[in-house]
Chain A
Amino acid sequence: MVVKKGNFNRRDFIKHSGMLAGGVVLVSLLNPFKLVFATKKPEGNGKWYGIGIDIEKCIGCGSCARACKIENDVPNEPFFFRNWVEQYTIMNDGQIKVSSPNGGIDGFKQPVPDEAIYKTFFVPKMCNHCAKSPCTQVCPVGASFESPEGLALVDQSYCIGCGYCVQACPYGCRYIDPKKGVVDKCTLCYHRLEKGLNPACMMACPTGARIYGDLNDKESGLSIFIKENNCAVLKPQLNTGSKLFYNALSQEVH
């Protein structure tokens, strides 16, 4: 090919592109990609939030879900929840019935007659604020992230609304806000925590079934709750590092 340009020859081109490529490699060596998980436990004495739910104390009143919708401006339709309650009914014949009409906000009815019930209980659900959260791992732009306190949050001014995180959450805790076109989820009322207030769901719970606290502080209410009760997390086999600890969790609960 016979293209000749005055002051920029092939050698220059190769030199420049070589320098550029070398620079990129160097920078990536200095800051190696964190390939597996997006975040790690913070170093130092920062807070590291977790949540505890005592299933034996939950009466299924739905106050937590109601309070959450009001506090966080969650769309009213029954398809969008940051926080909801499920009713599990295990029947004598082994059948398992689960329901969560309108997330439990309007309360529950038990359609199964008493004599057919083996056991029944309520399971409040919310974001597990996983330490190895699959949702923040898959966000293509980094709009989903973990705060230094270990809370999975979303920067809605940055989210592109692709819904990949919704697919990646094993617990169904995320939804796309139909008006904003971006993802929304529980923040453990981060805006309240910052002001020293408790999350809305914790405030609304009449039986004190919900607790949150600093897992780094072994004297915190949550640390003691976990120590004194036989707690379990949901879907431990997925290794999400869930920080939502349930007391008296039945194995039927997914």
Chain B
Amino acid sequence: MNKMESLYEALANLDGFIYPNEIALNWDLLIVMYPYITGLVAGAFILASLNRVFDIKALKPTYDISLLTALAFMLVATMPLITHLGQPLRFYEMLITPHLTSAMAIFGFVYLWYLMVVLLLEIWFDYRYDMVIWSQQKKGFMKFFYKALTLWISDTSPESRKTDEKFGYFITVIGIPSAFLLHGYVGFIFGSIKANPWWSTVMMPVIFLFSAMVSGIALVMFIYMAINYLRKKKTDIFCLDTIAKYLFYILILDFTLESLDQIHRIYEADESFDILKILVRGKLFFTFFIMQIGIGTLIPITTLGFLQFRKPREKIRKILYLIISIFVLVGIFFMRWNVVIGGQLFSKSFYGFTSYKVNLIGGTDVSLSLLWFIVPFFILAFLIWLLPPWKKFVEKTN
């Protein structure tokens, strides 16, 4: 079904009145993927910094995996945005002629700062010593490649390692507010649109931030288990328990903040309340109550809460953690969906709704969204092959 046909279908299924230009949803599934992927980056990084800055030793096995996951997803984070543009080849205008009053324009710089200054540098300092060693061990092209990655610095003295450690630590410390900035900013892009009452809340950056942490932590938890499964290694259950503990705390915070936002909205009941009430109870019922709150929040919170007090056998715990990480990832996806798609389903005239159907067959939005979600896993596989965390030489020097 092409775009125009689906618009005619939406026109035939209008509820009430909507401004004629609003029948077409301008931001489709790709824009749902954009905050989703960015959130995964920020969340994975926060988990890494829990280990490094707050010195939570149990999380050590996931430190490098978190960083590489963050990088893999960061590299494609802007792709949903760019491929969604009406003129994708003009995207660079945003960087060379940014309009400084636009939240979206500044995002480009926040993104670059985070990618270049925080992620790449931190990973570089973290792996520099190992890359030097690997470049000495390998032959041919790989030798050259690792050398190039070290930027031809071959110092392996204890002093140089101390410097690596110092810089790495420093960058992680800068990285935490940067990760907050990155995803808080994505929230601001939506939260600052006063025309849209579903988006326009000062809580939006904070909610985005916490949901980002939740999703990133769940993703690393999932990837950590998947990697160990593929490598046929035993998963460190103590590490998983610790991740789960933090996931539990942050889920509670996230749920509290989102509830606060909704309770405030319901109690204030301003002019937009009637239409939003119909929206949430109607068009968003499945994605909001079932997927976001039920599957994505309440089930994980109760299960994780239970696991804080009772510890069943290791095998059962692992299965539960696996299910919960998937549930949380699905739930946060639908949280983004409810924000992005939900915010466009109702008319700014407050008199009606349009509809949005994902084009499962032949729609570019679905295929591209899937592509941008799958590509990071391939990048991650490549990164892990290139920089295997389990082949690092950390222990020897300690």
Which positions in A face B, CB cutoff 8 Å?
1-3, 33-38, 77-81, 84, 86, 96-100, 102-103, 125, 134, 137-142, 158-164, 166-178, 180-183, 238, 254
Q: Assuming A36-B101, A99-B17, what are 19 further A-B pairs, CB within 8 angstroms?
A: A1-B160, A3-B152, A37-B101, A78-B20, A79-B20, A97-B17, A98-B352, A100-B19, A102-B20, A142-B99, A158-B90, A161-B90, A164-B102, A164-B189, A167-B27, A167-B193, A167-B343, A168-B195, A170-B348
- Chain A proximity of B132: nearest CB distance (Å): 11
Judge if B363 is at the interface, Cβ distance under 8 Å: no
- Chain B proximity of A68: nearest CB distance (Å): 12
Which positions in B face A, CB cutoff 8 Å?
3-4, 7, 11, 16-17, 19-24, 26-27, 81, 84-87, 90-91, 93-94, 97-105, 108, 152-153, 155, 160, 163, 189, 192-196, 343-344, 347-352
Contact status B91-A33, CB under 8 Å: no
Determine the distance from Cα of A174 to Cα of B24 in the docked complex, in whole angstroms.
11
Determine the distance from Cα of A43 to Cα of B164 in the docked complex, in whole angstroms.
56
A140 and B104 in contact, given A1-B163, A160-B85 (Cβ under 8 angstroms): yes
- Chain B proximity of A180: nearest CB distance (Å): 7
Chain A residue contacts of B348, Cβ below 8 A = 170-172, 254
**Top 4 nearest A-B pairs by Cβ distance?**
A161-B86, A172-B19, A181-B86, A170-B195
Contact status B347-A172, CB under 8 Å: yes
Closest to B10 in A: A79
Determine the distance from Cα of A138 to Cα of B3 in the docked complex, in whole angstroms.
26
A174 and B21 in contact, given A161-B85, A168-B195, A238-B195 (Cβ under 8 angstroms): yes
Determine the distance from Cα of A139 to Cα of B84 in the docked complex, in whole angstroms.
16
Chain A residue contacts of B91, Cβ below 8 A = 160
Contact status B24-A254, CB under 8 Å: no
Closest to A166 in B: B26
Determine the distance from Cα of A154 to Cα of B214 in the docked complex, in whole angstroms.
40
- Chain B proximity of A129: nearest CB distance (Å): 16
A254 and B349 in contact, given A79-B11, A125-B19, A139-B102 (Cβ under 8 angstroms): yes
Contact status B347-A160, CB under 8 Å: no
Contact status B27-A171, CB under 8 Å: no
Determine the distance from Cα of A170 to Cα of B22 in the docked complex, in whole angstroms.
11
Contact status B94-A140, CB under 8 Å: yes
- Chain A proximity of B17: nearest CB distance (Å): 4
Chain B residue contacts of A158, Cβ below 8 A = 90, 93
Chain B residue contacts of A166, Cβ below 8 A = 21, 26
Contact status B98-A141, CB under 8 Å: yes
A172 and B26 in contact, given A98-B349, A160-B93 (Cβ under 8 angstroms): no
Chain A residue contacts of B7, Cβ below 8 A = 77, 79
Chain B residue contacts of A38, Cβ below 8 A = 99, 101
Chain B residue contacts of A125, Cβ below 8 A = 19
Contact status B104-A162, CB under 8 Å: yes
Chain A residue contacts of B153, Cβ below 8 A = 1-3
Chain A residue contacts of B160, Cβ below 8 A = 1
Determine the distance from Cα of A158 to Cα of B102 in the docked complex, in whole angstroms.
16
Determine the distance from Cα of A173 to Cα of B97 in the docked complex, in whole angstroms.
25
Determine the distance from Cα of A80 to Cα of B3 in the docked complex, in whole angstroms.
14
- Chain A proximity of B103: nearest CB distance (Å): 7
Can you list 9 pairs linking A and B with CB atoms under 8 Å apart?
Answer: A1-B163, A102-B20, A125-B19, A140-B108, A141-B98, A167-B26, A167-B193, A172-B20, A172-B22
Contact status A134-B194, CB under 8 Å: yes
Determine the distance from Cα of A177 to Cα of B351 in the docked complex, in whole angstroms.
25
A171 and B19 in contact, given A160-B90, A160-B93 (Cβ under 8 angstroms): yes
Contact status A2-B155, CB under 8 Å: yes
Contact status A160-B86, CB under 8 Å: yes
Determine the distance from Cα of A182 to Cα of B86 in the docked complex, in whole angstroms.
6
Contact status A86-B90, CB under 8 Å: no
Contact status A169-B195, CB under 8 Å: yes
Chain B residue contacts of A77, Cβ below 8 A = 4, 7
Chain B residue contacts of A37, Cβ below 8 A = 101
Contact status B93-A176, CB under 8 Å: no
Closest to A183 in B: B86
Chain B residue contacts of A33, Cβ below 8 A = 100-101
A160 and B11 in contact, given A141-B99, A176-B24 (Cβ under 8 angstroms): no
Determine the distance from Cα of A140 to Cα of B96 in the docked complex, in whole angstroms.
11
Contact status A35-B104, CB under 8 Å: no
Contact status B20-A141, CB under 8 Å: no
Contact status B102-A137, CB under 8 Å: yes
Determine the distance from Cα of A86 to Cα of B17 in the docked complex, in whole angstroms.
9
Chain A residue contacts of B86, Cβ below 8 A = 159-163, 176-177, 180-183
Contact status B350-A162, CB under 8 Å: no
Chain B residue contacts of A177, Cβ below 8 A = 86
